[in-house]
Amino acid sequence: MEEQEVVPVNEEQLKYEALKKSANRTSNWRERLQAVEELGQLDHDQVADVLKARAQNDSVFPIREAAYRQLQKMGVSVPQPKRQEGDLVKGITKLLVRIKKSLPRDHSYEDFKAKLQKMRVDVYDTYEGDKGDEFDTWLEQKWASLRT
């Protein structure tokens, strides 16, 4: 019987792969934010690439900021992210009108909010992450202003 060679598991690589996956999960801004923070603590060649992608392309401003800070700590020079002007999701008003129309005429704001979260968790997550404490106020104002 031949002896099989045991290949050691590189825990740092496994952790990197898991964090990279979390950093790219579009429907969970909290998980992406935590992954960005943890990636900055790893000693891995490809961490900077993942953080650059988040700093430049994430739809949620606090994640872009966190990735920028981690890159700065690593000595990687990237432009400081700016808060996006206008709609974060193309066609957001049209999407929200469609959701509002799908509900009974006498629905509440809470009904609308729940349906948005159920139907488009990615959109809900993007705005919740970007707006922070102002999310409910923003969404309720949007809901009240929608014409159906």
Which helix or strand (DSSP H or E) is residue 122 part of? helix 121-131
Report which DSSP code applies to 138. Answer: H
Q: What is the amino acid identity at position 50? A: V
pLDDT of residue 6: 57
Give yes or no for residue 141 having a pLDDT over 60.
yes
pTM value is 0.79
pLDDT in tens, 60-107: 999 999 999 999 999 998 999 998 888 899 999 999 999 999 999 999
Give the residue-averaged pLDDT of 24-48: 89
What average pLDDT does the segment 27-53 reach? 91
Enumerate long-range contacts of 34-37, CB under 8 Å, 24 or more apart: 36/63, 36/66, 36/67, 36/70, 37/66, 37/70
Provide the pLDDT confidence category of residue 26 given band limits of 50, 70 and 90: confident
